[in-house]
Amino acid sequence: MIRIPFVLLFSAALFSTGVYGVLARRNAVLVLMSIELMLNAVNVNLVAFAQGMQDVVGQVFALFVIAVAAAEVGIGLAIVILIYRNRETINVDEVNLLKW
């Protein structure tokens, strides 16, 4: 039985890797993947606590997060494809339309 603090350290490392990826990678697909890392870090946390507290609600939440993440990736990749078709690039720093 792995003790919870180890699991939390692991998930924190995973989440930080995801944050770094979101902020630093230029490729939109990699950004999406980094978001997946962050979500899965949360999932690990949820499952670990559910196990530690002998409560199944955490696992149910983790399943929900997986379902939402699947939908998010679906929509996110569709957006990336559309951006590529329009602008011939998937570098997020070149797509700076979100301003005045």
Partner 1 sequence: MVATSGAGQAGATELAWIVALLPFLAFFLIVGFGKKLPGKGAELGIIAVGAGWLMSVAILWHFVTGGGPTESTIRWFEVGNFELELGQAVDGLTAVMLVVVTSVSLCVQIYSLGYMHGDSRFTWFYSMLSLFTAAMLNVVIAGNLFQLLIGWEVMGFCSYALIGHWWEEKVNSDSAIKAFITTRTGDIPFLFGIFALVVATGFATSNIGEISEMAERGDISTFWLTTAALLLFGGAIGKSAQFPLHVWLPDAMAGPTPVSALIHAATMVAAGVYMVGRMFAVFVHADPFALTFVSAIAGTTMLIAALLAMVQDDIKRVLAYSTVSQLAYMVAGLSLGEAGYTAGLFHLFTHAFFKALLFLGSGSVIHAVHSNNMSEMGGLRRHMPVTFWTFVIGSAALAGIPPLAGFWSKDEIITLAFKDGHYIVWFMAMATAVITAFYMTRAVLLTFFGEYRGHGHPHESPATITGPLVALAVAAAGVGFVGAPQLGAPFADWVHFGEEAHAEPFSYGFAAISIVGALLGLAAGYRLYARWRERDPLRALGPAYVLLENKYFLDDIYLRGIVRPIQYRVSAWANGFNEVVLDGVVHSFAYLARGLSILVDFLDRRAVDGAVNGVAQVTGESGGLLRYIQSGNVQRYAAFLFIGVAVLTFVFTRF
Site string for partner 1, 61-100 (x = CB under 8 A): -------------------------------xx-xxxxxx
Check binding of 1 to partner 1 (CB under 8 A).
no
Query: Among residues 1 and 98, whose Cβ is nearest to partner 1?
Result: 98
According to the binding rule CB under 8 A, does residue 19 interact with partner 1? yes
> Can you tell me which residue has the tokens 């996110």?
76
- C-alpha dihedral (62, 65, 67, 69), degrees to nearest 10: -140
Contact 25, 37 (CB under 8 A): no
Q: How far apart are CA 74 and CA 53, in angstroms?
A: 33
**Binding interface with partner 1 (CB under 8 A):** 19, 22-24, 31, 92-93, 95-100
